Every structure is written in structure tokens, then in C-alpha cells.
Amino acid sequence: MVDRLRGVYVYRLLGFTLAAAVLIDATPVRTVLSPALMRLAGRWNWWPGIER
């Protein structure tokens, strides 16, 4: 019984950690950090489109 509860705890902890990582990646990293780095890269930006 204790082994089952310990396994459930590990899965709940992994699920929470994964959800927190996705939330952190989706909010500050993709909304602030990525555009800022693209702006700093300037001409060296990898995004296809406008030729300068």
C-alpha cells in the first residue's frame, strides 16, 4: 500500500513540474525573451521574410 502511494506521489510531482515548466515557457520566455532576443539579433535574425 505504501509503495502505491509513493508511486502516486511521484507521478503527481512529475505532472506538477511539467505543468509549471510549460507555463513558465509559454508566458515569459515566448512573450518577452524571444522577441527581445530577435530584436537584439537585428540583421543576424534567423526568421525568413524581409531581405535587408
Reported as a pLDDT band with limits 50, 70 and 90, residue 8 is: confident
Exposure string over 11-43, b if 16+ CB within 10 A, otherwise e: eeeeeeeeeeeeeeeeeeeeeeeeeeeeeeeee
Residue spans per domain, the chain: 7-38
**pLDDT more than 90, % of the chain:** 21
Q: In this predicted structure, what is the pLDDT of residue 25?
A: 86
The string of pLDDT tens digits covering residues 31-51 is: 888 888 888 988 887 766 666
Whether this model's pTM surpasses 0.75: no
